[in-house]
Amino acid sequence: MLDNADLGKLIVRLTLGGLLLFHGIAKLFHGVGFIEGQLASHGIPAFFAWGVFIGELLAPLMVILGYQTRIGALLIAFNMLVAIALVHSHELLSLGGSGGWALELQGFFLFIAVAVVFLGPGRYKLKN
């Protein structure tokens, strides 16, 4: 019998991982120069920019596949906290152009990742 809770967890995992994966793929093709610059402007060594591939490629794949899902979701949450702190902190209490929260996308990734940390992968996952 199909378990609605496990199906819901799968949908959440696929949405979180799938949407964030596009950001990682874009950085794979276009580089991390912007992130290197942001890190350097905060006195952080630029080579840490390569960590974005962990947070936006590896971690989303872990979440999508259900392999070490909670660890993958925790990596995504950390990635989003760093992005918010380095690039978006000035928008934390701002409205966007269409009236929503300026950080809707970052907030979505952060809070859904935290939810996945607590929910776990559900039944539909790779065995680990």
Per the DSSP assignment, residues forming a β-bridge with 80 are: none
Closest CA to 13 of 53, 56, 72: 72
Q: How do residues 12-50 score in pLDDT, each as one tens digit? A: 999 999 999 999 999 999 999 999 999 999 899 988 999
What is the pLDDT, as a whole number, of residue 128?
Answer: 63
Q: How do residues 67-109 score in pLDDT, each as one tens digit? A: 999 999 999 999 999 999 988 888 887 888 888 898 999 999 9
Would you say residue 105 lies in a domain? yes
Would you say residue 79 lies in a domain? yes
The DSSP line for 95-119 is B-TTSSBTTHHHHHHHHHHHHHHHH
Would you say residue 59 lies in a domain? yes
Would you say residue 125 lies in a domain? no
Would you say residue 126 lies in a domain? no
Q: How many structural domains compose the chain?
A: 1
Backbone φ and ψ for 26, nearest 5 degrees, come out as: -60, -40
Tokens for 102? 């300026």
Domain holding 99, by residue range, is: 4-119
Would you say residue 96 lies in a domain? yes
Would you say residue 124 lies in a domain? no
What is the pLDDT, as a whole number, of residue 49?
Answer: 92
Would you say residue 109 lies in a domain? yes
